[in-house]
Amino acid sequence: MSTWNSRGLRGSTLEELVNRTNEQYREKGLALIQKVPTPITPIKIDKEHRHITLAYFEQKSTVDYIGAVQGIPVCFDAKECKTDTFPLANVHQHQIQFMADFERQKGIAFLLLYFSARDFFYYLRFSELCRYVDRADRGGLKRFRLQELDPAYELKQEHGIFVPYLEGVQKDLLERD
């Protein structure tokens, strides 16, 4: 059985906070964001406990969340990091490609990062992610540090919102105009 520290449950705290935030935004009529289910095919099932014990992914997932904010399409992936360094390997090429395609369709794509050791949330614009990926592709660092991030996109919990990512979306939109 999986435990709290198991690889299979990494990020579940962040996911729960984002899901609750999405409910808050929906209730306030600000956004409609849904978790994208990852399709799996069960291989082994523990019939006594009614748990899937072995499964494989049917296809590569895209992003964790997708929806609309005041009529603007958004998609994002939520990533949790225990240190002050975020490895770009945590974002898969097919996810980057999906976000690029999404942006070309006039949507907004981003990563929602949680640096758990510091209890620090960050809205990583897709353009900022691309800068780090381009740097890695040119032979540079294959990660980025917390100190490199734009402090304007730190997400501070306020007004009872668990992960106020709409603040980041608003700033992102203003920079695009």
Q: With H, G, I as helix, E, B as strand and everything else as coil, classify residue 149.
A: coil
Return the pLDDT at 160.
87
CATH 3.40.1350.10 assigned to domain 7-36+64-176? The reply is yes
77's tokens? 């992936």
Residue with tokens 């949330």: 121
For CA atoms 52, 54, 57, 61, the dihedral sign is positive
Instruction: Report the binding-site residues.
Output: 62, 64, 77, 95
Q: What is the band of 166 on the pLDDT scale with cuts at 50, 70, 90? A: very high
Can you give the pTM of this predicted structure?
0.83
Q: With H, G, I as helix, E, B as strand and everything else as coil, classify residue 91.
A: coil
104's tokens? 């070309």
Q: Mind listing the pLDDT tens digit for each residue in 106-124?
A: 999 999 999 999 999 999 9
* pLDDT averaged over every residue in the chain: 87
Instruction: Report the binding-site residues for Mg(2+).
Output: 62, 64, 77, 95
Is residue 126 within 8 A of residue 106, CB to CB? The reply is no
Q: Nearest 5°: CA angle at 36, between 11 and 118?
A: 25
